[in-house]
Amino acid sequence: MAVTTEQLNVWKQQQRSIISLTAWDYSIARVLDEAGVDVILVGDSLAMVALGHPTTLPVTLDEMIHHAKAVRRGVKRALIVCDLPFLSYQENVSQAIHSAGRVLKETGAAAVKLEGGHARAIATVKELTAIGIPVMGHVGLTPQSCNSLGYKQQGNTAESADRILDEAIALSQAGAFSLVLEHIPSELAATITSTVSIPTIGIGAGGACDGQVLVTADLLGLSLTTPPFAKPYIDLQSIMTDAVERFAKDVLEDRFPTDH
């Protein structure tokens, strides 16, 4: 049975942890779905892991839609959420509606995710959810703000922790169906999780969240640099390099193909 936004809320009440990973193409999405991942995020992190950019900022809405279409083809069960990329929703609510509408209409994704909990983001979430577009919020470290925030942990002071908590509450009240909590102290994440009625999905936010998400390239050992909170479960880069080198050697030494 396909995972829905309502199911995530049921799991929060049941204290059943939510499993989430990112995907950027059909092959990765199919593997994640068959392995039992609940939420597949077509994250704008694909700008870095699939397109080779140094940050998430350059990826366009058309590129996100292109990748989300491929992910959709590989998924039967998981809830697909697609990031709205930088400058595809910040100008005004009309732009956000158009961008989010294109994502749902053209890709078959079930929801969109947008970053930030400032007043404009709250207003955007209210408008999107009012017309039936499910929205996942994202507070704490927001990579689209890397030029102002960097990539350091957020919420380390009483003032910033209070602000992030207020943003999380406001996003929940605005209609977001869940929240990503990125790179914040575990105590703050626990407070948010116990305060809001919607599920929280942590990335570098401790174990008290209702679920966990990682960038799949980090999990597989394919990233050039791995965040301090990520856990590589395999060094796939080394395995792939070894396989390619053995193939190349077989070709050079006339051992492949073997039909001669």
Q: Which residues are catalytic?
A: 182
* Helices vs. strands in the chain: H and E counts, helices first: 11, 8
Residue 65 CA from chain centroid, whole number: 14
Residue 224 CA from chain centroid, whole number: 19
Please count the CA atoms within 13 angstroms of the CA of 93 that sit on its side-chain side. 13
Q: How far is Cα 158 from Cα 152, in angstroms, rounded to an integer?
A: 16
Residue with tokens 């190349």, as numbered in its chain: 248
Beta-ladder partners of 99: none
Distance between first and last Cα of the chain: 50
CB 135 within 8 A of CB 112: yes
Indicate the angle between helix axes 26-34 and 61-73, nearest 10 degrees: 50
* Cis peptide bond N-terminal to 85, omega within 30: no
Q: Which two tokens stand for residue 259?
A: 């039909």
Q: Which two tokens stand for residue 39?
A: 């939420």
Are β-strands 79-83 and 135-140 bridged in parallel, bridged antiparallel, or unpaired?
Answer: unpaired
CB 141 within 8 A of CB 229: no
